[in-house]
Amino acid sequence: MIKMFFREGMFGKRLQGVFVLLSVLVFYESTAAFQSWSWQNPLPQGNNLYGVYFINSDTGTVVGGKGTILRTTDGGLTWTSQNSGTTNLLRGIFFIDSNFGIVIGIGGTVLRTTDGGDTWALENINTNKSIRGVSFTDANTGTIVGEDGIVFRTTDGGATWQPQQSGTDFWLRGVAFLDRDRGVAVGSGGVIITTTNGGDTTWTSRVSGTEVELLGVAYPEDNVMMVVGREGTILRSIDAGLTWIPQVTNTTRAFRAVYFTDADTGTAVGSRGFIYRTTDGGAVWSRQEGETEAELRDVQFLNTNVGIAVGFTGAILRTFDGGDHWDNLTTGTTEPLFDVAFPNAVTGFAVGANGTILHTDDNGQTWSTQTSGTRDDLNGVHFVDLDNGFVVGQNGRILSTTNGGQDWIAQTNATSRNLNDVFFTSKLMGIAVGDSGTILLTTIGGANWTTVASGTSANLRRIFFSDANTGTIVGSNGTILRSNSGGAGWTPRNSGTTNDLNSVFFLTDRKGTIVGNGGTILRTINGGEIWSVQQTPTLDNLFAVHFTNVSYGIIVGGDPADEEEGGTILRTSNSGESWVLEESGTFKDFYAIAVTSANTATIVGEDGAILYSSQLITAVNESNHPNSYVLFPNYPNPFNPTTTLSYELQQSIPVKLEVYNLLGQRVRTLVDDFQPAGSYRVEWNGRNNSGEIAHTGVYFARLQSGRGSTQIIKMLLLK
């Protein structure tokens, strides 16, 4: 469930496509950056998990979004993060023994370990297509499948991979081999292909009897194959794939994965935490309770009793009795969190969907749930001091506490419209803002609220007061309202944009920053009389902004329309004159941030995500080098045939600016020189280094400093 004020018009979509410079050109310098952010909720982490493999009851590995690899040696009670060397989404995993393992992912990612995951090496398979399935039969022989029907085979433990002809252009979503010769792969459009010679000479198409997308496959015994897919589809073959028999499941939910320990005993998992079990070869499937509503993406059983399932929001489930009972090994809420406030350095409150209020008194090491007394979404929170706080939300909900959240009291609703934010300038004076231009004012500590005319019907998102009298409200369609009377009266300001504006922060009474959809960043140096558009390194929606001091600021956001994009963090070290992207380590969208000191901050967001950093300024200086340079988005983009790239150098450094294609091949070197500090503009005419016209498609401009750090932007050449 998305917070109400993120539903309407907040999905400004970026150009389609995922950054997939691979093999020759994979930039891993940035992976260290997100180590400055650590998960506080859920635990052990909240990235979506797509694959699991246990080699025994104690030792196992799970993989997922943003290059996540977790390892356990105690049956899943505790997990240790391993360095994958990539931020690509990882889709699957297979281990032959305790040391040798293979991980697959988007953009042609294949990782290999020979030491149990202490180190992972990127293997070159000469493709940038997404890989969705992996199966090994011994330490040497394995097969991977994926996008557009690709199939690759290794006979040397993954050191080299040879392409095979699958006979289909449909995406292949899963693969299973019984031995080194006999295998089956399934995918989109009801595609099923089989081989009896390891795919060396041919894969044979089989008639599945359905056009439903097939997502998982198991090959437990001679001639016996099981396939699962969307719309509750389960198919069984007892003649090595020649014919397929639909199984009765009594559900239309998608099954994502299936695992059989023998020809009779199997488990299928999928949407909304569904788990189904059969003990008669699939003739009858019974639903099991999994203690989660998260989508489950993979399942594995070590024997008929011991199993592990993983899925979205970091879900990890375990059973010791064949699934009669599943224990959720992940702790913490997965409700979206929309705002966070810290009245001091260690005491904080986060609010979110379905009446969620979380509290910490140890700087987020532990978060406990407080009773709100409502199931309404709670959108904004503000504390005057440690004891006195206010929360606003859906349907005009206003809650107050006078004892640090031990008790939350519902106040009389002054409106039925959704309230999105609240701000108190003293214990008595407070303002709440909401949908349809709603502004409420209290002068008696929230005991009574009166309506103030806003002069707009826009949905008002956030409010900020730089002093007791001077306040700013931002909202949909580029709305900016300004008050110099403590909130008693409001006048509009020209934002120069129709994008929804989501957050505002004033560093002083004169210097302020506003952020919004489509990467919008506005800046004022005259108290909001004039707002100027800032160069932005992203087209993501930006939901919150905060400054730690006159130089250092942070913006967070995401892309609610895409589960594989988001987790946006921008940094500045020059008062917002320029912003640099930082890797967050997650795809989860961020909705709010609280800065508790010059170096510490807490971010909250999608699926209960809470991330913490104690290295704000350190991370800026050491990881992103904003004082050195910044590469801005090219303009125009898309372009034909010429575009201009702009960058800024804060000091004299060696600079190399190059253009690459999707295969990681250098197309054009635009700059390779030592340059003094200053602003630069370079034109690319759409030609390569030989003067030939480049083909239509996606290209990447890479700016590299003499320090070895890199910034990249994506460009689209159209003809």
Which pLDDT score is estimated for 507?
Answer: 82
Residues 37, 41, 46: CA angle, nearest 5 degrees:
80
- Amino acid 709: pLDDT: 63
CATH 2.130.10.10, the chain: domain bounds: 338-624
Average pLDDT of the chain to the nearest whole number = 89
For residue 323, pLDDT over 60 is answered with yes
Angle at the Cα of 403 (from 402 to 404), degrees rounded to 5?
A: 105
Cβ–Cβ contacts within 10 Å for residue 169, how many? 12
Amino acid of residue 340: V
Cis peptide before 44 (omega within 30 of 0): yes
Query: 444 CB contacts (<8 Å, ≥6 apart)?
Result: 428
Torsion over CA: 493, 498, 503, 504 (sign): negative
Question: For residue 138, what are its two tokens?
Answer: 């011994």
Segment of 329-343, 501-515, 528-542 carrying the highest mean pLDDT: 329-343
Question: 76 versus 4: which is more confidently predicted?
Answer: 76
Is the pLDDT assigned to residue 180 strictly greater than 80? yes
Q: Does residue 177 surpass a pLDDT of 90?
A: yes
Confidence of residue 654 (pLDDT cuts 50, 70, 90): confident
DSSP state of 331: B
Q: Check residues 665 and 472 and name the one with the higher pLDDT.
A: 472
Q: Look up the CATH superfamily of 338-624.
A: YVTN repeat-like/Quinoprotein amine dehydrogenase (2.130.10.10)
pLDDT digits (tens, 9 = 90+) for 681-719: 899 999 999 999 999 888 889 888 755 567 888 888 877
From-to residues of CATH 2.60.40.4070 in the chain: 629-717
Q: What is the pLDDT of residue 144?
A: 97
The size of the chain, in residues, is 719
As to burial, measured by CB atoms within 10 angstroms (0-12 exposed, 13-18 middle, 19+ buried), residue 365 is exposed
Task: With a cut of 80, say whether residue 365 has pLDDT above it.
Answer: yes
How confident is the model at residue 651, as a pLDDT? 77
CA–CA–CA angle 549, 552, 553 (5° rounding): 100
Confidence of residue 216 (pLDDT cuts 50, 70, 90): very high
- DSSP state, residue 618: H
Work out whether strand 568-572 and strand 580-582 pair parallel, antiparallel, or are unpaired: antiparallel
pLDDT tens per residue across span 537-583: 899 999 999 987 777 899 999 987 776 778 999 999 888 888 999 88
If one counts every other C-beta atom within 10 angstroms of the C-beta of residue 533, the result is: 12
**6: confidence class by pLDDT, cuts 50, 70, 90:** very low
pLDDT interval class at 510 (50, 70, 90):
confident
How far is the CA of 81 from the CAs of 39, 410, 539, 582, in angstroms?
Answer: 11, 42, 30, 20
pLDDT in tens, 18-63: 233 322 233 323 333 345 899 999 999 999 999 999 999 999 999 9
Question: What pLDDT is recorded for position 594?
Answer: 94
Percent of the residues in the chain that have a pLDDT greater than 90, as a whole number? 72
Q: Where is pLDDT greater, at 126 or 177? A: 177
Query: Is the predicted pLDDT of residue 536 greater than 70, yes or no?
Result: yes
Q: CB under 8 Å to 509, separation ≥6 — which residues? A: 466, 467, 470, 527
Lowest-confidence pick of 396-410, 492-506, 599-613, 644-658: 644-658
What fold characterizes domain 629-717?
Answer: Immunoglobulin-like (2.60.40)
Q: Give the 3-state secondary structure of residue 617.
A: helix
Per-residue pLDDT at 480: 98
Whole-number Å distance between alpha carbons of 398 and 400: 7
Tell me what pLDDT residue 35 has.
Answer: 52
241-299 per-position pLDDT tens digit: 999 999 989 899 999 999 999 999 999 999 999 999 999 998 899 999 877 889 999 99
Query: Where residue 8 falls among pLDDT bands split at 50, 70, 90?
Result: very low
Q: Tell me the pLDDT band of 644, cut-offs 50, 70 and 90.
A: confident
Q: Which two tokens stand for residue 367?
A: 């978060």
